[in-house]
A and B are shown apart, each in its own frame.
Chain A
Amino acid sequence: MAASTKWVGKPMKRKEDPRLIQGLAHYVDDMVLPGMFYAAFVRSPYAHAHIRSVNTSAAQAAPGVVAVYTGEHVRGQIGNIPCAGDLPELRVPPHAPLALDKVRYSGEPVAVVVADDRYRARDAADLVEVDYEPLPAVTDPQKALQKNSPLLHEQFGTNRACYWKIEAGFPAKAFKKAHRVVKQRLLNQRLIPVAMEPRGVLAHYDAGEGSLTVWSSTQIPHLLRTQLAAMLGLAEMKVRVITPEVGGGFGSKLNVYGEEALVAWLARAVGRPVKWMETRRENFLNTIHGRDQVNDVEVAVARDGTITALRCRILADLGAYYQLLTPVIPTLTGLLILGAYKIPAVEVEYVGVFTNKMATDAYRGAGRPEATYIIERMVDLVARELKKDPAEIRLKNFPQPKDFPYAVPTGIVYDSGDYAAALKKAMAMAGYKRLRAEQKKLWKQGRYLGVGLSSYVEICGLGPSSAAPPAIGWWESATVRIEPTGSVTVLTGSSPHGQGQETSFAQMVADELGMSPDAVVVIHGDTRAVPYGIGTFGSRATAVGGTAVHMCLEKLKQKLARMAAHLFNVAPEQIVYKDGEFSVKGKGRESKKLTEVAGAIFTAKSLPAGLEPGLEATSFFEPQNFTFPFGTHLCVVEVSPQTGDIQLKRYIAVDDCGKVINPLLVDGQVHGGIAQSLGQALLEEAVYDENGQLVTGELMDYAIPRAGDVPRFETARTVTPSPVNPMGVKGVGEAGTIGATPAIVNAVIDALRPLGVRDIPMPLKRERLWALFQKKARR
């Protein structure tokens, strides 16, 4: 049945914004419960140490203190922090919410204080005396694999955490036959997500009902509910998780953290609501990090520039323990490592290593930015080796539109694409030929202009469930209700935290049901209100969650059509639906409004046989494949030989995320993603010293991009619908972070071609570039 096209595709202002721009929204720390206590954590200053003893008496005697607990107090009462990942070779260390016997990274929680006031809780935490016996730390993943390395988890006899390998298409043969083999070590440095709202938890235990309510700043309310119930030994339906407004996640809140279980346990133990808000320092130390891979890559190339094989050894520094998905993130790098190219042979070997650092896990893009960085840097190196233009190498190796669905040797199937179209569009926007000519001219004048390309493809719309870890499904749920007054309630299992689905889902409903988006309310993030959902991550909310909403709307429209047929006294096949009105085929003049038909179902005075009253539909969408958005980003830079400063002259992003529901929101996602990519390329780096101290442990030392660091972006799109879901949408939440980093780095390295520079480790800080110019001047 035809829907209207009044809303979908339009840049509608967001429905969520009025509360957010007036200070009327409620994040966890804005929630206040009567009699609420505050928790503060005691954290290890050492990266590796035995805990000899913990003396809590001074803290317990401090003003306002209600209770102090150590790992020993909660041993056996709270289950370990879960890891959902599974691999053929995987060593899973126990991960207690409060350290027992030994601490393994700086910032690991050792004790927790509950007091009647947040300042007093903090004061008392400083009075807890922990007697540590420091141990040598290991922070270099390569050293951690050496025989004499300190061991994090002695029971394993090794720091090797896991191993995974894929091989397809006879890579050894391809390398033997290659015209050239191009090799490079590439580093994807450790990053810190830095959502602007740190994590926070508020828990209330109702002793009468035996039920627990937890407000948490999370991306996965239902998965958290299941895990909390298991960790605390409660029946799942006695646990309610509410995510109020969430101030950014980027994967860092796609997790189950020890503090979430502990604060919930504390609320029961002290018989009062307990709140804990993470400080920014804690957020740096003890919320997951991202990336941190050493990639040794080689590609085999034929004389004409055809890439015939890729081999990569991924050494991933996983940190001290696993969080929810820690060991599986680098497998996504492996799956996507061939990027947007038809490369017939591949070999990827991934070794995960324990070190005395915070765990890595899913940070925006999660394994896929690393893959794009690897392949896009290698393609540029191939072009340089063969003295060809990087655009030419890309065009030569793209699969053609007729090749889709394209089965990639790594085992995934790209759904749809026209990669050349996006590249050509970006080149046209940039005036590529002119830029290359200008570049040659400027080099002669001692000026360093560079043009960088990145033709990316990404894995989005996570699932299918068969690709998810064993204990998790990657479907999504929705319920759509038409209320008696004609307004519509959407309950979604997605858990938006800035993405804007309260608006985009309302646009979808408005078109399908022929009403104003103002009449639609989208509810999310309360496990008691919405059906079991999986949550918002992996650019899945629209492609998977949105499709579930779409399926509900189809069911409702069918039911309404049956009722309309009954009212018109015709067969349902004769009913035509358009713009919120039902009419009989060929008799267009007489029509009934949707609200009128809905009203007849609600009052139920005369229903057709077999039609139930009520207008509510629930759907669970299980995608048959991922979606694969793609695009080309093009960056133009000029590097100053005097200062090493990088001037971002232009940044062009041509993205294809399939059908677009709200172009304003898509642009917003793309911009934000590019800014985070720019952070990795130019500014950000989590640095631990050899003792395991996080020396970039604050916003003063860890440079996330500021307004002045970021250029104006020029965005454009191509539209290739996905065949994976009926709406043809692909997702866009991670496009910027997956596509942009290599475009920027390729541009800078391209600018420095006269210096003979092949690679510069990220972030490309100006002192690194300045040193390269100095080295050249000395020669």
Chain B
Amino acid sequence: MKVAVTVNGRSYSHEVEPRLLLVHYLRDVLGLTGTHIGCETSLCGACTVLLDGQAVKSCTVLAVQADGADITTIEGLARDGKLHPVQEGFWEEHGLQCGYCTPGMIMAGVALLQTNPAPGETEIRRALAGNLCRCTGYQHIVNAIQSAAKKMKPAPAKSRPVGSPGPAARRRTKG
């Protein structure tokens, strides 16, 4: 079957088996290996990507279901060498250790801040319920998302396209 998608702003079109999982399409066909597979059953969240702006677990979406969709993966967050504020947050707050859950965790964080630009700690922990991390104990991940929220706050978060540099990055560009 044919699948045509936009991934990180680029258009792709391929003939694929109907059973091909979106995560395998991204990883094996497009070579975007930043999205990881941790369970294949929607439970760990390592494969989280944004599908038309919504966080989905790409291990339980068929590639053909994504036909016509606009997808953002971890590789599409940084723009022009500038990290997304959520990526910056993870780096600054030590929100990762082995890094395997990190792409999914960051995507889940980006999705959260799109709908809730100033989440409290409990809200962040609830929003990450579908993303497992075995290394960090989550505290630094929560800190990372809080730190990103602070940086993104002055901008009207909902209207800002995903992946565009946050206010901190913009300030740096000016200075």
By a beta-carbon cutoff of 8 Å, the part of chain A in contact with chain B is 11, 13-14, 16-18, 20-27, 29-30, 32, 118-119, 194-198, 245-248, 250, 277, 279-280, 497-500, 664-665, 667-668, 670-676, 698-700, 704-708, 710, 712-713, 736
Q: Does B10 contact A (CB under 8 A)?
A: no
Contact A672–B75 (Cβ < 8 Å): no
Contact A279–B40 (Cβ < 8 Å): yes
Contact B136–A25 (Cβ < 8 Å): no
Contact B43–A699 (Cβ < 8 Å): yes
Known A23-B33, A248-B98, A498-B97: A18·B38 in contact at CB below 8 Å: no
Which of the 9-residue segments B50-58, B123-131, B166-174 touches chain A? Answer: B123-131
Q: Does B67 contact A (CB under 8 A)?
A: no
Task: Point out the residue from B39, B78, B122 that lies within 8 Å of A22, measured CB to CB.
Answer: B78
> With the chains together, A699 CA to B94 CA distance in Å?
26
By a beta-carbon cutoff of 8 Å, the part of chain B in contact with chain A is 17, 19-20, 24, 27, 31-41, 43-44, 46, 73-75, 77-78, 83, 87, 90-92, 94, 96-103, 106, 121-122, 124-126, 128-129, 131-142
Contact A17–B90 (Cβ < 8 Å): yes
- With a cutoff of 8 Å between Cβ atoms, the chain B residues found around residue A500 in the complex are 97
Contact B126–A699 (Cβ < 8 Å): no
Contact A668–B140 (Cβ < 8 Å): yes
Task: Point out the residue from A24, A30, A671 that lies within 8 Å of B139, measured CB to CB.
Answer: A671
Known A21-B87, A708-B125: A196·B136 in contact at CB below 8 Å: no
Contact A18–B135 (Cβ < 8 Å): no
Interface of B is mostly: loop
Known A500-B97, A664-B94: A707·B102 in contact at CB below 8 Å: no
Task: Give the shortest distance, in Å, between A363 (CB) and chain B (any CB).
Answer: 11
Contact B137–A672 (Cβ < 8 Å): yes
- With a cutoff of 8 Å between Cβ atoms, the chain B residues found around residue A196 in the complex are 36, 38, 44, 46, 98, 100-101, 132-135
Task: Give the shortest distance, in Å, between B156 (CB) and chain A (any CB).
Answer: 25
Return the chain B residue nearest A23 by Cβ.
B34
> With the chains together, A710 CA to B24 CA distance in Å?
32
Contact B99–A245 (Cβ < 8 Å): yes
- With a cutoff of 8 Å between Cβ atoms, the chain A residues found around residue B17 in the complex are 119
Known A16-B99, A710-B139: A22·B74 in contact at CB below 8 Å: yes
> With the chains together, A562 CA to B67 CA distance in Å?
68
> With the chains together, A22 CA to B133 CA distance in Å?
17
Return the chain B residue nearest A20 by Cβ.
B99
Task: Give the shortest distance, in Å, between A737 (CB) and chain B (any CB).
Answer: 11
Task: Give the shortest distance, in Å, between A137 (CB) and chain B (any CB).
Answer: 26
Contact B39–A27 (Cβ < 8 Å): no
Contact B46–A671 (Cβ < 8 Å): no
- With a cutoff of 8 Å between Cβ atoms, the chain A residues found around residue B75 in the complex are 22-24
17 CB < 8 A contacts A-B: A14-B91, A21-B83, A21-B102, A22-B74, A29-B27, A30-B27, A196-B46, A196-B134, A198-B38, A247-B101, A280-B39, A498-B99, A676-B134, A699-B39, A699-B43, A707-B126, A710-B125
> With the chains together, A196 CA to B87 CA distance in Å?
19
Known A22-B78, A499-B97, A665-B94: A707·B134 in contact at CB below 8 Å: no
Known A671-B139, A674-B137: A23·B128 in contact at CB below 8 Å: no
Contact B19–A119 (Cβ < 8 Å): yes
- With a cutoff of 8 Å between Cβ atoms, the chain A residues found around residue B44 in the complex are 196, 280, 699
- With a cutoff of 8 Å between Cβ atoms, the chain A residues found around residue B40 in the complex are 279-280
Contact B132–A21 (Cβ < 8 Å): no
> With the chains together, A30 CA to B100 CA distance in Å?
12
Return the chain A residue nearest B75 by Cβ.
A23
- With a cutoff of 8 Å between Cβ atoms, the chain B residues found around residue A29 in the complex are 27, 33, 36-37
Contact B139–A713 (Cβ < 8 Å): yes
Return the chain A residue nearest B101 by Cβ.
A196
Known A194-B134, A704-B134, A707-B141: A668·B94 in contact at CB below 8 Å: yes
Known A17-B90, A20-B99, A664-B94: A713·B137 in contact at CB below 8 Å: yes
> With the chains together, A25 CA to B20 CA distance in Å?
24
Contact A248–B100 (Cβ < 8 Å): yes
Contact B137–A710 (Cβ < 8 Å): yes
> With the chains together, A86 CA to B104 CA distance in Å?
42
- With a cutoff of 8 Å between Cβ atoms, the chain A residues found around residue B142 in the complex are 707, 712
- With a cutoff of 8 Å between Cβ atoms, the chain B residues found around residue A498 in the complex are 97-99, 135
- With a cutoff of 8 Å between Cβ atoms, the chain A residues found around residue B78 in the complex are 22
Contact A20–B139 (Cβ < 8 Å): no
Task: Give the shortest distance, in Å, between A79 (CB) and chain B (any CB).
Answer: 30
